[in-house]
């Protein structure tokens, strides 16, 4: 699911990365300045970063050796991992295995990233109940723990559709012409989804003040119907948004009526009509597809964001952008693909 910080687990080479990280943490613990462990930590960190960026599975030691920044020794360990399922050295590091298992559990809580997980482990926490007793949990961590089990369950397409219809009718009860679409993995055709991602817009409406009224109306209706049961992040309003396009984002937890229905994570965007195409591309994803489209644009002196495609973008030698560029497309997805001269990709083809 879409989380502001925290998530972003790698898609490929999960086991390799997990095990290399355990070794790196071990060397980090035992190193002294300038020792060979000290250099191992540096090498492991470089290799892990490189492997994280890969968009394919490593299946042999030879393949590992071809990855830049992966040296001979680490490649050999990767070879063990893919052949035996485990790096042999890990057998002698018992406490690290425990750490990895517990930190993985902690990271499965909504909004909890690696740093938090490590901090809690270092404090002596080992179970979710240990976490529940911590005095300084944030509101979202409390919510994530409360619904932990439910939020890990995948959402069948047909339930995503049901949730989509509830949001749509709440929106249309304000203005019948409002457009409400389910995006994310659902739109890419996945059989089940991690959360529900909804994009709402109204024909020819771009101004922040009007869009905020739509967002408020939807939230009010859905809270009244006991559909939204917990807010993770509410959109904020400020006067400066009034007369210009503005994107509003809501994140929360919803539940269909009935005693046995499961709590689900829902993201709702209310966005300017003029940006709708760019938002649909962004929120349909997947994230890898977004990254490659953005890179493609940037290699052609353009810039793609959730607001649109911008032309005449100037970048310094370090690729740092020095101006915003001129907005050239974004009302529809096709407009953006056309301007980039990429053949249109159907949502189900955006599984990169």
Is residue 195 near Mn ion by the rule CB under 5 A? yes
Q: Which helix (H) or strand (E) holds 284?
A: helix 276-284
Structure-token match 């030691």, residue found: 61
- Give the N- to C-terminal CA distance of the chain in Å, as an integer: 17
Instruction: Return the structure tokens found at 112.
Output: 């909890």
Contact characters 190-219, Mg ion, x per CB under 5 A? -----x-x----------------------
Q: Which residues between 30 and 49 bind Mn ion (CB under 5 A)?
A: none
CB atoms within 10 A of CB 113: 14
Q: How far is CA 250 from the centre of its chain?
A: 15
# of chain residues touching Mn ion (CB under 5 A): 5
The smaller minimum CB distance to Mg ion, of residues 197 and 333, is found at 197
- Of 347, 210, 217, whose CA–CA distance to 272 is shortest? 210
Instruction: Return the structure tokens found at 65.
Output: 């050796």
Return the DSSP state at 273.
Answer: G
To the query of whether residue 123 is one of the catalytic residues in this protein, the response is no
Structure-token match 């290699």, residue found: 299
CA gap 234, 4 in Å, rounded = 13
Q: Which residues between 294 and 323 bind Mn ion (CB under 5 A)?
A: none
Instruction: Return the structure tokens found at 257.
Output: 């009526």
Instruction: Write down the least CB distance from residue 197 to Mg ion, Å.
Output: 4
Site stretch for Mn ion (CB under 5 A), options 81-89, 91-99, 187-195, 333-341: 187-195
Site stretch for Mg ion (CB under 5 A), options 14-22, 76-84, 179-187, 213-221: 179-187
Is residue 2 near Mn ion by the rule CB under 5 A? yes
CB atoms within 10 A of CB 186: 24
CA gap 49, 70 in Å, rounded = 10
Residues that bind ligand DCP (CB under 6 A): 1-2, 8, 184-185, 193-195, 197, 282-283, 285-287, 290
Instruction: Return the structure tokens found at 311.
Output: 């032309």
Site stretch for Mg ion (CB under 5 A), options 15-23, 124-132, 181-189, 274-282: 181-189
The smaller minimum CB distance to Mn ion, of residues 2 and 45, is found at 2
CB atoms within 10 A of CB 179: 15
Is residue 249 near Mn ion by the rule CB under 5 A? no
The smaller minimum CB distance to ligand DCP, of residues 191 and 236, is found at 191
Instruction: Write down the least CB distance from residue 2 to Mg ion, Å.
Output: 6
- What, of Mg ion, Mn ion, ligand DCP, none, does residue 8 touch, CB below 5 to 8 Å by kind? ligand DCP
Minimal CB distance residue for ligand DCP: 285
Contact 24, 45 (CB under 8 A): yes
Is residue 184 near Mg ion by the rule CB under 5 A? yes
Which residue out of 40, 73, 77, 86 is catalytically annotated?
77
Site stretch for Mn ion (CB under 5 A), options 2-10, 136-144, 212-220, 291-299: 2-10
Structure-token match 């020095």, residue found: 322
CB atoms within 10 A of CB 103: 21
The smaller minimum CB distance to Mn ion, of residues 227 and 310, is found at 227
Sites of contact with Mg ion (CB under 5 A): 184-185, 195, 197
Kindly list the catalytic residues: 77
Sites of contact with Mn ion (CB under 5 A): 1-2, 195, 197, 267
């Amino acid at each position: 699911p879409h989380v502001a910080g925290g998530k972003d687990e790698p898609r490929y080479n999960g086991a390799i990365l997990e095990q290399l990280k355990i070794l790196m943490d071990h060397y980090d613990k035992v190193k002294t300045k300038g020792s060979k462990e000290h250099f191992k930590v540096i090498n492991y960190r470089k290799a892990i970063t490189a492997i994280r960026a890969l968009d394919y599975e490593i299946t042999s030691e030879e393949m590992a050796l071809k990855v830049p920044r992966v040296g001979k020794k680490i490649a050999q360990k990767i070879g063990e991992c893919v052949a035996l399922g485990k790096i042999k050295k890990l057998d002698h590091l018992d406490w690290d295995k425990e750490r990895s298992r517990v930190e993985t559990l902690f990271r499965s809580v909504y909004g909890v990233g690696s740093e938090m997980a490590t901090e809690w482990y270092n404090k002596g926490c080992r179970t979710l109940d240990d976490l529940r007793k911590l005095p300084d949990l944030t509101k979202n961590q409390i919510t994530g723990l409360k619904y932990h089990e439910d939020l890990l369950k995948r959402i069948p397409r047909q339930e995503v559709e049901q949730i989509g219809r509830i949001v749509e009718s709440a929106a249309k009860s304000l203005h019948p012409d409002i457009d409400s679409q389910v995006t994310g993995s659902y739109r890419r055709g996945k059989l089940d989804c991690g959360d529900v991602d909804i994009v709402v817009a109204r024909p020819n409406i771009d101004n922040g003040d009007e869009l905020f009224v739509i967002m408020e109306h939807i939230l009010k209706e859905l809270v009244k119907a006991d559909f939204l049961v917990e807010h993770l992040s509410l959109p904020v309003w400020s006067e400066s948004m009034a007369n210009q396009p503005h994107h509003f984002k809501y994140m929360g937890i919803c539940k269909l009526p009935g005693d046995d229905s499961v709590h689900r994570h829902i993201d709702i965007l209310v966005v300017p009509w003029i940006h709708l195409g760019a938002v649909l591309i962004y929120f349909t994803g997947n994230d890898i597809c977004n990254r490659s489209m953005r890179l493609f644009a940037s290699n052609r002196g353009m810039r793609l964001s959730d607001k649109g495609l911008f032309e005449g973008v100037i970048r310094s030698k370090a690729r740092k952008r020095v101006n915003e560029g001129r907005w050239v497309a974004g009302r529809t997805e096709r407009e953006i693909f056309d301007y980039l001269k990429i053949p249109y990709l159907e949502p189900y083809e955006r599984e990169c």
